[in-house]
Amino acid sequence: MSDPAKTRRHAERVKELVASLVREIKDPRLGMVTITDARITGDLREATVYYTVLGDPTEQAGTQAALESAKGMLRTRVGHALGLRHSPSLAFVLDNVLDNVKEIDDLLAEARLRDEEVQRLASGKQYAGDPDPYKSEDDEDDTERVGAREDLG
């Protein structure tokens, strides 16, 4: 096991290397790919590279196939650049961050609509009861006495 700081440095380096090497892949199936993150195990043997692809599911599948096809070349180049005894094996995972963003945006829009509906229903309505239900008549007498003491002092 290596220390966590070293593992993070290597993961960041793997991310940078793969991002720069992806541009060199001459596969026509490769779409507009962005490397978003990389994680590497503590023993530095396995790296998971996360990526996003602009386009529909067929373009995403084509990009997945292109990355799998170029995995050997990428692993060799990353291993040489890292200078480790063993080149980490690479696994590519589609990062669905754009789908998650869309889902969150939809939920927020729905919440805003519900809030507007509540505001519309609440307009012109009054609270049932006094504005301050915890205020008692004794409190009013106390404030009158305090004001009288300040006038004397």
- Report the 10 Å Cβ neighbour count for 119: 9
pLDDT on residue 85 = 85
pLDDT on residue 66 = 92
pLDDT on residue 25 = 87
Regions of the chain short of the pLDDT cut 70: 1-2, 131, 133, 138-153
pLDDT on residue 55 = 82
pTM for the structure as a whole = 0.65
Region of 46 on the Ramachandran plot (φ > 0 left; ψ -120 to 50 alpha; else beta): beta
Question: Residue 70 burial (CB < 10 Å; 0-12/13-18/19+)?
Answer: buried
